[in-house]
């Protein structure tokens, strides 16, 4: 899934996959079958915004260094939001 | 604090838990204790009760697993996801799973099992993640240090919104000083005082005994309230030598001469009084001067004459290598103890007119006070 990036930091493919998995696990990001428009609420940017708001980070909807760093921290597997 | 959608919660106060398997990182009794303490974090502030069962289906089934472990929410190897739990409900509801690719510990090394379990059991009871970085229910692991854990207010408010506040259940923590002078003219300065702290869930009393009476003092009260001992415990003798509470078993032990009584709230436990030698003391020992339970170590220290003993409450045995000389271990407090109590990592030794504040952590006296400073004299 294309992830909006803050251009101040170089993320590897592996980083992006980790970020996507994080948003799936904790922010209910659902996969988007190819070719079907996604409801705005379920875009990666929206989920990033949700996570940034939850942790009190600057809400940009883009993956930046601070957000990625927080994703690295050991944590509980229960989602932060969503069903 | 947040709740799960539809504010999922248990419809009963008495819940069961079962430990299905163990991590090889800790001894079994360390895992048992970590989970027991983790449940007590929540039962201390609500009417909830947790009972361990060892067979069948419990409300909260606890297990260690790695990667895909049967619930289609796989763990991810070392670090990253540490554990997860399901909100209240049938089947998986309430269950808590711990990633056994982590290194679990009962201190700051690896991940502290008690802390992670207390967090996961918050989910088991219906709390979702909190946005408060200081809350136990904040999703990121933070080691909060060795000294006594206190449930942050955000979590207390959340869980009490689901289950209400706890009832007036007493739990008691003791100091032991014995009065030698008659009650009628109690003189703080010279006489020895028998104290114990009674703690209701949200009130904290200090109770102190004399020969036939005890005084009840609330921290915000100036005057102590005098109560006849036998009005609480008719079977107990007057003039008690020593007493302490075992918070793990929720029992209070009282000593007089060669006998010991066990109290559960206001009831005396069956088969008591027993002889103190059944605890491991020599048969010729006549009495115990003072006793104190140290929560963090799970040991109870008994002082008699110029010596002291250490009793392992978990294993229910007297520790090897005792008795030891008081002066050797607690240099500076004198060679006898009238009374002692523990609070927030400090032991307060009373010897005659003086009170010694001893830091368990740094193992030295940090302050000397007057015995009667407890009464703001």
Q: What is the pLDDT of residue B219?
A: 56
Residue in chain A lying closest to B97 (CA):
A77
pLDDT band of B223, cuts 50, 70, 90: low
User: Mutate which of B66, B79, B81 to test chain A, going by most A C-beta atoms within 10 A?
Assistant: B81
Q: What is the pLDDT of residue B10?
A: 96
Q: Is the predicted pLDDT of residue A52 greater than 60, yes or no?
A: yes
Rounded to a whole number of angstroms, the CA Rg of chain A reads: 12
Least confident of A34-38, B105-109, B239-243: A34-38
Shortest Cα distance from B287 to chain A (angstroms)?
Answer: 50
Residue in chain B lying closest to A74 (CA):
B80
Helix (H) or strand (E) holding A13: helix A13-27
pLDDT band of A18, cuts 50, 70, 90: very high
DSSP B164-192: ----S-EEEEE------S-GGG--TTTS-
C-alpha distances out from residue B11 to A70, B54, B89, B361, Å: 36, 23, 10, 42
- Measured CB to CB, residues of chain A less than 8 Å from chain B are 25-26, 54-56, 70, 73-80, 83
**Contact B264/B272 with Cβ under 8 angstroms?**
no
Q: Is the predicted pLDDT of residue B121 greater than 70, yes or no?
A: yes
Helix (H, G, I), strand (E, B) or coil at B76: coil
The Cα–Cα gap between B294 and B245 comes to 10
CA atoms within 13 A on the CB side of B90: 0
**What is the number of residues in chain B?**
377
Strand partners, B349: B340, B356
Q: Which of the residue ranges B153-162, B288-297, B356-365 has the most confident prediction, judged by mean pLDDT?
A: B153-162
The Cα–Cα gap between B98 and B107 comes to 17
Q: Is the predicted pLDDT of residue B342 greater than 90, yes or no?
A: no
Q: What is the pLDDT of residue B114?
A: 95
Q: Is the predicted pLDDT of residue B178 greater than 60, yes or no?
A: no
Q: What is the pLDDT of residue A63?
A: 92
Task: Output DSSP code: residue A5.
Answer: B
Q: What is the pLDDT of residue B329?
A: 87
Q: What is the pLDDT of residue B360?
A: 85
Is the preceding peptide bond at B273 cis, omega within 30 degrees of 0? Answer: yes
Average pLDDT for B336-362: 84
Is the preceding peptide bond at B361 cis, omega within 30 degrees of 0? Answer: no
Q: Is the predicted pLDDT of residue B185 greater than 60, yes or no?
A: no
Residue-wise pLDDT for B49-87, tens only, equals: 999 999 999 999 999 999 999 998 999 999 999 999 999
The Cα–Cα gap between B300 and B161 comes to 36
Residue-wise pLDDT for A61-81, tens only, equals: 999 999 999 999 999 999 998
Average pLDDT for B88-117: 95
Q: Is the predicted pLDDT of residue B334 greater than 90, yes or no?
A: no
| Axis-axis angle for helices B113-125, B28-43 (nearest 10) | 40
pLDDT band of B147, cuts 50, 70, 90: low
Q: Which of the residue ranges A31-35, B113-117, B186-190, B249-253 has the most confident prediction, judged by mean pLDDT?
A: B113-117
**Contact B111/B129 with Cβ under 8 angstroms?**
no
Q: Is the predicted pLDDT of residue B123 greater than 90, yes or no?
A: yes
Q: Is the predicted pLDDT of residue B195 greater than 50, yes or no?
A: no
Q: Is the predicted pLDDT of residue B215 greater than 70, yes or no?
A: no
Q: What is the pLDDT of residue B176?
A: 39
Shortest Cα distance from B15 to chain A (angstroms)?
Answer: 21
Average pLDDT for B217-223: 57
**Pick the residue with more confidence: A11 or B169?**
A11
Q: Is the predicted pLDDT of residue B244 greater than 80, yes or no?
A: yes
pLDDT band of A30, cuts 50, 70, 90: confident
Helix (H) or strand (E) holding B355: strand B354-359
Average pLDDT for A14-41: 76
pLDDT band of A6, cuts 50, 70, 90: confident
DSSP A19-70: HHHHHHHHH------TTPPPPGGGSHHHHHHHHHHHTT----SSB-HHHHHH
pLDDT band of B186, cuts 50, 70, 90: very low
Q: Which of B79, B82, B131 lies closest to A76 in CB terms?
A: B82
Residue in chain B lying closest to A50 (CA):
B131
The backbone torsions φ and ψ at residue B343, rounded to the nearest 5 degrees and listed phi first, read -155, 125
CB contact under 8 A, B128 and A55: no
Q: What is the pLDDT of residue B270?
A: 86
Helix (H) or strand (E) holding B351: strand B346-351
Q: What is the pLDDT of residue B168?
A: 40
% of chain A with per-residue pLDDT over 70: 78
pLDDT band of B376, cuts 50, 70, 90: very low
**Contact B320/B299 with Cβ under 8 angstroms?**
no
Q: Is the predicted pLDDT of residue B377 greater than 80, yes or no?
A: no
pLDDT band of B169, cuts 50, 70, 90: very low
Average pLDDT for A31-51: 71
CB contact under 8 A, A78 and B79: no
The Cα–Cα gap between B197 and B243 comes to 11
> Residues near B38 by Cβ (< 8 Å), separated by ≥ 6?
B114, B117, B118, B120, B121
**Contact B213/B226 with Cβ under 8 angstroms?**
yes
pLDDT band of B193, cuts 50, 70, 90: very low
**Pick the residue with more confidence: B249 or B318?**
B318
**Pick the residue with more confidence: B120 or B332?**
B120
Using CA of residue B313, residue B318, residue B321, residue B325, what is the dihedral sign?
A: positive
DSSP B199-246: EESS-EEEEEE-SSEEEEE-TT-SSPEEEEHHHH-TTSPSS--EEEEE
Whether B120 sits among the annotated catalytic residues: the reply is yes
């Amino acid at each position: 899934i294309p992830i909006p990036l803050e251009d101040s930091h170089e993320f590897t493919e592996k980083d992006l996959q980790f970020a996507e998995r994080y948003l799936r696990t904790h922010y209910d990001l659902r996969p988007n079958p190819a070719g079907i428009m996604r409801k705005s609420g379920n875009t990666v940017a929206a989920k990033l915004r949700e996570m940034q708001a939850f942790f009190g980070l600057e809400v940009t909807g883009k993956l930046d260094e601070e957000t990625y760093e927080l994703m690295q921290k050991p944590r509980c597997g229960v989602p932060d939001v969503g069903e | 604090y947040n709740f799960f959608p539809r504010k999922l919660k248990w419809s009963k106060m008495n819940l069961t838990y079962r430990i299905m398997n163990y991590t090889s990182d800790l001894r079994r009794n360390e895992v048992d204790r970590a989970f027991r303490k983790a449940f007590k974090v929540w039962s201390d502030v609500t009417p909830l009760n947790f009972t361990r069962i060892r067979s069948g289906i419990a409300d909260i089934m606890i297990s260690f697993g790695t990667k895909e472990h049967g619930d289609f929410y796989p763990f991810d190897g070392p670090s990253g996801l540490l554990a997860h739990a399901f909100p209240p409900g049938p089947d998986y509801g309430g269950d808590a799973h711990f990633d056994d690719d982590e290194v679990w510990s009962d201190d700051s090394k690896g991940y502290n099992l008690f802390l992670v379990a207390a967090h996961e059991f918050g989910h088991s009871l219906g709390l979702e993640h909190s946005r408060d970085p200081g809350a136990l229910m904040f999703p990121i692991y933070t080691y909060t240090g060795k000294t006594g854990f206190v449930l942050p207010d955000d979590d207390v408010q959340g869980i009490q919104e689901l289950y209400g506040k706890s009832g007036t259940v007493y739990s008691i923590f003791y100091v032991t000083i014995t009065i030698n002078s008659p009650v009628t003219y109690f003189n703080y300065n010279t006489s020895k005082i028998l104290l114990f702290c009674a703690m209701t869930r949200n009130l904290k009393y200090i109770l102190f005994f004399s020969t036939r009476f005890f005084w009840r003092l609330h921290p915000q009260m100036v005057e102590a309230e005098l109560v006849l001992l036998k009005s609480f415990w008719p079977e107990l003798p007057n003039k008690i030598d020593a007493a302490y509470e075992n918070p793990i078993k929720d029992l209070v032990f009282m000593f007089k001469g060669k006998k010991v009584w066990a109290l559960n709230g206001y009831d005396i436990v069956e088969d008591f009084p027993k002889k103190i030698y059944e605890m491991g003391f020599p048969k010729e020992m006549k009495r115990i001067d003072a006793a104190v339970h140290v929560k963090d170590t799970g040991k109870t220290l008994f002082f008699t004459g110029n010596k002291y003993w250490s009793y392992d409450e978990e294993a229910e045995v007297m520790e090897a290598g005792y008795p030891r000389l008081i002066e050797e271990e607690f240099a500076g407090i004198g060679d006898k103890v009238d009374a002692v109590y523990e609070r927030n990592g400090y032991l307060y030794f009373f010897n005659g007119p003086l009170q010694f504040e001893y830091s368990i952590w740094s193992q030295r006296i940090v302050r000397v006070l007057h015995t009667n400073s407890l009464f703001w004299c």
